[in-house]
Amino acid sequence: MTRLSIVVPCHNEEQTIELFYTTTQAIAMDELAQREVELRFVFVDDGSKDHTLIKLRELAAAHEEVSYVSFSRNFGKEAALLAGLQAAVQCGDLIAVMDVDLQDPPSLLPKMCDLARTGEYDRIAVRRTSRKGEPPIRSWCARRFYGLMSHLTDLDLRDGARDFSVMSKRFAEAVLSCGEYNRFTKGLFGWVGYPTTWIEYTNVERVAGETNWSFWSLVRYAFDGIVAYTVKPLEMLMAIGATVSLCALFALVFVVVRALLFGDPVSGWPSLMASILLATGIITFGLGIIGFYLSKIYLEVKNRPIYLVKETSKQGWQKTQ
C-alpha cells in the first residue's frame, strides 16, 4: 500500500472544501484503490475569516484520514504549503500539493501516482496549456512573467506551471530544507532539482468562491519570485548606470569643446533638464530595486516564524522542523 498525503491550503474556502473532499475521495475509492494507493489529507486553514475552520473540524471529526492545522492569521499560501508539507512528509510515501477549488483536477492523480511509482521521477509537475476563463490582461502578464523568469534564472519554470505536484519524500524534504522566510514555492520546486516530468491539461475554472489574488497581489508575487531567485536586476542596473555615466562623460567633453571653439550660448537648457530628469529617474528606479532586495534581507534576518498555529486536529498534526 502506498500512502499519498495531500496538502491543501485553504483561505476563505467554506464553499469548496466538501466538494474537494468528495471529488477526490471518489477517485481514491475507485482508481487509486485499484492501484493500492491510500489517501491522507492535510488541510491548512490560512487564517480564514469565513467558516473554513468549522468545515475542517467537521471533516476531521468524520474522517480519520483528514487532519488540519489552522493559522493564527492569514500568512499566505506559501506559508500554508510549508506547514502542510511539514506534516505530510511524516505520514506519506508520496506527497501531493493541491488547491482546494478543484482547479487542480483530482482526476490526474492516478496517472501522477503511476509515474511517481516508476521511481524514475521525484516530482510529477503539472502545467495548464490554456488560461480559459481568466482576464486577458492577467494571462498576458503571467506569460511575460514566465518568459522573464526563464531569461533571468535557470529554474525549470514553465508557462502555466501550477503548484499542483506529486512528489517523493526526498523531494519534499529537500523543499523543507530551504528555510527561507520569503518563500516562492514554484521556484523552490525548480531549484531543488531532481528528475521531474510534466503533465499538461487545459484550464479548469474555480468550482465556487472567489480567487484570493488581485491583479496587484499577483504583480507583487511576480516581483517576489524574481528577487528570490536572481540578482540580475542589480547587474542590469549596474550596466545601465555605467552606460548612462559614459554617455554623460562624452556629452560633457562635447559641450566643453564646443564652448571653447564657438563660445557659450545659453541655449539648450531644456535638453539639460531632460537629461537631469532622465538620470534622476534611473537613479530613483535603481534605488527602488536595491530597496526591494534590502527589504527582503530585512525580513530574512529578523528570523520570525513563517506561520503561527492556532489550532490543530485531534489526529495529531506535527511539524518536522
For Mg ion, the binding residues (CB under 5 A) are 101, 103, 206
DSSP assignment of 131-183 equals -TTS-HHHHHHHHHHHHHHHHH------TTEEEEEEEEHHHHHHHHT---SS-
User: What SS3 class is residue 206?
Assistant: coil
| Interaction residues for ligand UDP, span 185-204 (CB under 6 A) | none
d(CA 178, CA 81): 13
User: What's the closest the beta carbon of residue 104 comes to Mg ion, in angstroms?
Assistant: 8
Length of the chain: 321
CB of 244 to ligand UDP, least distance (A): 38
25 binds ligand UDP (CB under 6 A): no
Beta bridge mates, 309: 71
Judged by CB under 6 A, does residue 14 bind ligand UDP?
Answer: no
Q: Closest by alpha carbon to 4, among 96, 85, 69, 79? A: 96
Piece in contact with ligand UDP (CB under 6 A), picked from 25-33, 209-217, 274-282, 295-303? 209-217
179: amino acid identity, one letter: G
* Binds ligand UDP by CB under 6 A, chosen from 4, 28, 56, 80: 80
Q: Is 213 one of the binding residues for ligand UDP (CB under 6 A)?
A: yes
DSSP-derived secondary structure letter, 198: E
Give me the least distance between CB of 195 and ligand UDP, in Å please.
Answer: 26
To Mg ion, the closest distance from the beta carbon of 205 in angstroms equals 9
Cα torsion angle, 299, 302, 307, 311, sign:
negative
Q: 121 or 189, CB closer to ligand UDP?
A: 189
Contacts with ligand UDP, residue ranges (CB under 6 A): 9-11, 13, 46, 74, 76-77, 80, 99-101, 103, 206, 211-213
